[in-house]
Amino acid sequence: MKKSEWLLLVVTLCWGSAYLLLKAAMEAVEPLMLIGLRFMIGFLIAGAILYPRLRKATRRTVALAAMQGALLFLISVTVTFALKSTSTANASFLLSLTVIFVPLLSATFLRQKLTPQLTAGIGFAIAGIGLMTLKMPLSMQPGDLLCMLAALINATYVLLTSRAAKEVDTINLGVLQLGFAGLFGLIFAGFMGQLSLPSTGGGWGAILALAVVCSAFCYIAQPAAQKFTTASRAGLIFSMEPVFAAMFGFLVVGEMLSAQGYAGAALVLTGVLVSEYGARWLQALRRRSRPQAQPQPGPGMLP
């Protein structure tokens, strides 16, 4: 892995802890206010540190940051409300569908061919989602649907980030998108009458951790790192997020999936791996199945 990809893995590790922090923060503040606070605080801290660099931001950078910030706001809204009706582990595994949606969107809008291994991967993922989310009698929680919507929006964000990283200063892009996401959050919180601050130290601690680690660091590091790798490769690395989330969920609160949930999660991860490595596995199997060429007898050798 490149250094940039190791950085994306660290970002993914931080995001794995975000679900528990979100649940703790939502007990102290309303959802839209939480989104506004975490991104605006992250923007103010990062902006103060990087102010000399921000002064050189171009109009193109600001325009792309506004689009990125809007997508971040939408992702945060769907995830925040999803966590009210689904588990941390369930949400994280469903959000890993981003790695499937990225090539699907690439095929639809960028005319990139849908490969057989990607089709197979999607089939595994859909089967896994069924096992994880469908209950008897057959039903799906609203939070599960919101998580899948968040995965689709996140895939759009990943593709736009890969494109934007080739055009503008990625550090300025990362900082400014935080400001736009925070602004959207505070505006909508005002419309919905949710402009209230946390009243507990624990609530402020969770919000500050989300602002500094899961917002400022992660969303500045992501575009900077994606400049040196592909969107599909980034999506594959992000598929580790549910593994980290399940790890934090087990270590901190003892949260575990059911047997059916683990089977579904395994199928989702199988789909992710097949979509990325299926072609290589087939090539390796074909090489092993080919008969080895026998040496031909040369002059003076017995037949």
pLDDT tens column, 164-175: 988 999 999 999
Are 222 and 11 in contact by the 8 Å Cβ rule? The answer is: yes
The pLDDT value recorded for residue 235 is: 74
The pLDDT value recorded for residue 190 is: 94
Residue labelled with tokens 């026998």: 294
d(CA 250, CA 43): 31
pTM of this prediction exceeds 0.75: yes
Are 214 and 46 in contact by the 8 Å Cβ rule? The answer is: no
The pLDDT value recorded for residue 276 is: 67
Higher-confidence residue of 88 and 104: namely 104
The region of weakest confidence among 157-166, 193-202, 259-268 is 259-268
The pLDDT value recorded for residue 152 is: 93
What is the secondary structure of 175-233 as a DSSP string? Answer: HHHHHHHHHHHHHHHHHTT------SHHHHHHHHHIIIIIIIIHHHHHHHHHTTS-HHH
d(CA 212, CA 123): 38
- Angle of helix 142-165 relative to helix 231-238, nearest 10 degrees? 140
* Cα atoms in the 13 Å half-sphere on the side-chain side of 149: 16
The pLDDT value recorded for residue 292 is: 58
Higher-confidence residue of 195 and 289: namely 195
The pLDDT value recorded for residue 296 is: 58
> Averaged over 258-264, what is the pLDDT?
79
> Averaged over 129-151, what is the pLDDT?
75
The pLDDT value recorded for residue 298 is: 53
Residue 129 has pLDDT above 90, yes or no: no
Residue 138 has pLDDT above 60, yes or no: no
Higher-confidence residue of 42 and 31: namely 42
Residue 208 has pLDDT above 80, yes or no: yes
Q: Which amino acid is at 106?
A: S
- % of the chain at pLDDT higher than 70: 86
What is the secondary structure of the chain as a DSSP string? Answer: --HHHHHHHHHHHHHHHHHHHHHHHHTTS-HHHHHHHHHHHHHHHHHHHTHHHHTT--HHHHHHHHHHHHHHHHHHHHHHHHTTSS-HHHHHHHHTTHHHHHHHHHHHHS-----HHHHHHHHHHHHHHHHHH-BTTTB--HHHHHHHHHHHHHHHHHHHHHHHHTTS-HHHHHHHHHHHHHHHHHHHHHHTT------SHHHHHHHHHIIIIIIIIHHHHHHHHHTTS-HHHHHHHHTTHHHHHHHHHHHHH-----HHHHHHHHHHHHHHHHHHHHHHHHHHHHHHHSPPPPPPP-TT---
Are 105 and 232 in contact by the 8 Å Cβ rule? The answer is: no
The region of weakest confidence among 18-22, 55-59, 72-76 is 18-22
The pLDDT value recorded for residue 191 is: 93
The pLDDT value recorded for residue 303 is: 47
Q: How far is CA 126 from CA 71, 129, 131, 133, 220, in A?
A: 24, 5, 9, 11, 32
**Average pLDDT over the chain, rounded to whole?**
83
d(CA 83, CA 85): 5
Higher-confidence residue of 237 and 12: namely 12
Higher-confidence residue of 290 and 264: namely 264
Residue 295 has pLDDT above 70, yes or no: no
Higher-confidence residue of 115 and 134: namely 115
The region of weakest confidence among 53-62, 73-82, 246-255 is 246-255
